Structure 1
Amino acid sequence: MAVLLFFVALWYTSLFFQTFFQHRYAAHGAFKMNRFWERTFYICTYLSQGSSYMSPAAYGIMHRMHHAYTDTDKDPHSPQFSKNIFGMMWRTRQFYLNIFTGKMQVEERFTKNLPHWHTFDKLASSSISRLLWVAVYTSIVIIFSPAWWFLLLLPVMIAMGAFHGAIINWFAHKYGYVNFKLKNTAHNLLTVDVLMLGESYHNNHHKNPASINFGKRWHEIDPVYPVIRLFSWLRIIKLSTQTKADA
């Protein structure tokens, strides 16, 4: 039971900081925050994502490219150019690494107003850091598992960010329903989003990328939206007038 609770906690905390900090803040600038809170969320993102941590700046660039080049050969994670989900995950990894290491020449429009903490990203993305997190996850599973098959959860724990991304970038571009007719294959994957904290409303998101509320219909509940409103009320973040209007 302890291992399952840890797995669920890891799933949702990792996903929350991905959608709140890396996606809505870094990639889309849906709200603003000062340097103290930005670096606080940097640390929280690292602690929650562990071995699958991604630089918010590199993630932001990659995701902006996804929106600009959706379903084309320049899209970092389009199922149109991969035979299977694992091929797409590997292709996405190569895009990310090339951006993070500076091997890819990136257009200036994708690099504006990104959060940066180069020293922290270098340490958090190091092989030593990732291996230490793998050791932590493995130890927890071995010590607290009541049966051997709990070890099957380890690959997901270690590459959790990749699993989150694969669910949306593969399945939400193949299956689901649409609220808006767009010039791409983005769908809303789940009628009621319970596993992806609003991320599965992908068609809605492609219609209004900077909106702080990914849900649009009455049954499309985005659980991160009220958290964003709370953070705004607490003055942790600042919403723009346009962002409030799009919510």
Structure 2
Amino acid sequence: MDFAALRDSMVASLQHDTKGVVEAEPVGRAMRSVPRHAFLDEGHRSYMDQAFEHRGTTVLAPSMAGRLLESLAIESDDSVLVVGAGVGYTVAVLAEIVGPKRVHAVDITRSLVIDARRNLHNAGYDAVLVDCRDGASGLPEYAPYDRILVEAAAVRPPDALVRQLAPGGRLVMPTGTGDQRLLAFEAGRAVRDFGDVGFAPLLVEGEQADAIERNRTRREDVERASKAAERRRGWEREWIDWESQDY
């Protein structure tokens, strides 16, 4: 199967006036080079303009990935942080533009970090650093970053990410809860609106797909109920214990 031809066709459709989400340079050129099928078990379907599900997360459709990448206004010497590495595809496109050693990525889901590392290695971008972190905390060890891309929604950019942005840098992320907008932030304020989007929320520890208990409220309720039971004394404790026995 000629995957190079499929990539050319995919990018041509994204550049066509009917979509117009990708420019020839540098994003279009990079998307023509990155083997998208190395990041998905979908063969030729990897180059269709559709999203896929993987380990509880959404692998963005090429048109949405293109919108995100173009909104960054990336330059060849930029240092980049991606929050929400996923399977690693958008990370690889950025690595194609600025070089793998200038791209860092984090994801809160450990199984996705493992997958992204493997996929990036197989695609020839193994110099990218991918770490398992809470995305809202970023990766301060390698800050500042000229560009930060957040592939998850929040009401506003997390303070830690804003602090990790270099002077003159740009942070792009979906903002809002119900109705979301893709916004670019510079110097702590929104400077560009790239339209409607629909992304999953930025997760915190305990909410990731491979956590032992994803729903924090449920987990906390169970813990509180257990502590309350331990505080009971006398006949009340004996009565509740008797009721809970299975005869």
TM-score, structure 1 length as denominator?
0.23
Higher relative contact order (CA 8 A, sep 6+): 1
Higher share in strand: 2
TM-score, structure 2 length as denominator?
0.23
Higher share in helix: 1
Instruction: Mark the structure with the bigger radius of gyration.
Output: 2
